[in-house]
Amino acid sequence: MSAPLRPRPAAPRRAAVAVGSARPGALPRSLTVGVIGAGRVGAVLGAAFSAAGHRVVAATGGSGVNPHRFALLPGIAPSSAAEVARAATDLLLIAVPDDALARVVAALADGGLLHPGQVVAHTSGAHGLAVLDPAEAVGARPLALHPAMTFTGTSDDLGRLAGISYGVTAPADLRPLAARLVADLGGVPEWVGEADRPLYHAALAHGANHLVTLVNEAADRLRDAGVTQPQKVLAPLLRAALENALRYGDDALTGPVSRGDAGTVERHLARLAATAPESVAPYLALARRTADRAIAGGRLAPTDAASLLGVLADTQRRTAA
């Protein structure tokens, strides 16, 4: 945040009031929006809200403001968190790192910068509504709105928003507004319970972030094998594997582990240990999990898996020794 926030005693919890409408709890069709954290996610969602007809009036850029991000928000100059919170009369979107979120929300609430009826939404997948308790205590309306997408913070992201899912956690009375906001962004809401937010986020991180690591590990090992263009080799294979996995689930499993080819897996592990020992542990973990799923799905008979599981266990013991 660009300027220090001056704390003042928190106001007592009050019921939400109308903002820009005579109907209790209602909001106007075109919202006045501010973005705290115009980074990869915040700048893109701000641009998407603007394209949907909402008025994005202010945004923070934090330290080392990236001009490419603010290029997505024409006419908006970097402001302090206090200025953004005051300007965002209808919707304040907080798109900061997970571990900073609680501190930012508390500072805004304690500083008297939030007001009753204002919707305070965050984009964290890991957090639900509890992190917004300080905002709700001063009468703001809490909303967790996480786009299930990876972002670059460029205009290319805007074309990827159509049809994506948003993990939404909202109080019952705010669900219609949450659904409307997701629709405005071109997305589909997936309603996630408060207690399930960590599991929801773990699933996405496991699938997407670890996929990047896995692909780069595969590319590195191909380079070690003398392949000069590993991306060219991997691209069609991995695209097909991903499409098949999403379509067929465990029935898409192929390869030596799913067949119980213990000798092949043993040779893999021996060469990895000699060439890239840092890859042995992840290979072992994924091979064992793959074997478990292949056995559970009936693709690999337990008797046929015995030799394979023995190879994995023996290598695990040697690695741990």
Structure confidence by residue, pLDDT tens digits, 252-275:
999 999 999 999 999 999 999 999
Q: 188 and 213: one domain? A: no
Give the residue among 221, 315, 236 at the shortest CA–CA distance from 276: 221
CATH number at residue 308: 1.10.1040
Number of domains in the chain: 2
Contact residues for 176 (Cβ-Cβ < 8 A; gap 6+): none
Q: 204 and 158: one domain? A: no
Report if residue 66 sits inside a domain: yes
Question: Taking 80 as the threshold, does the pLDDT of residue 13 lie above it?
Answer: no
**Stated length of the chain:** 321
Looking at every residue in the chain, the average pLDDT score rounds to 91
CATH number at residue 188: 3.40.50.720
pLDDT of residue 64: 54
Q: 103 and 188: one domain? A: yes
Find the Cα–Cα–Cα–Cα dihedral 25, 188, 184, 139, rounded to 10°: 30
Q: 118 and 214: one domain? A: no
pLDDT of residue 3: 43
Domain extent for 101: 32-192
Report if residue 26 sits inside a domain: no
Of 175, 192, 209, the residue that ends a domain is 192
pLDDT of residue 321: 78
Angle at the Cα of 223 from the Cα atoms of 217 and 226, rounded to 5 degrees: 150
pLDDT of residue 65: 62
Of 150, 167, 192, the residue that ends a domain is 192
Q: 142 and 247: one domain? A: no
**CA distance to 103, 179, 223, 260, per residue, from 96 (Å):** 10, 22, 37, 46
Report if residue 24 sits inside a domain: no
Q: 38 and 170: one domain? A: yes
Confidence of residue 71 (pLDDT cuts 50, 70, 90): confident
Which helix (H) or strand (E) is 50 found in, with range? helix 40-51
Question: pTM to 2 decimals?
Answer: 0.85
Of 160, 192, 224, the residue that ends a domain is 192
Q: 239 and 278: one domain? A: yes
pLDDT of residue 6: 40
Give the residue among 292, 290, 284, 289 at the shortest CA–CA distance from 319: 284
For the sheet with 91-94, list strands across it: 55-59, 32-36, 91-94, 119-122, 141-147, 165-169, 188-191
Q: Is residue 88 within 8 Å of 118, Cβ to Cβ? A: yes
Question: Taking 60 as the threshold, does the pLDDT of residue 24 lie above it?
Answer: no
Weakest-pLDDT range from 6-15, 134-143, 303-312: 6-15
pLDDT of residue 166: 98
Q: 106 and 68: one domain? A: yes
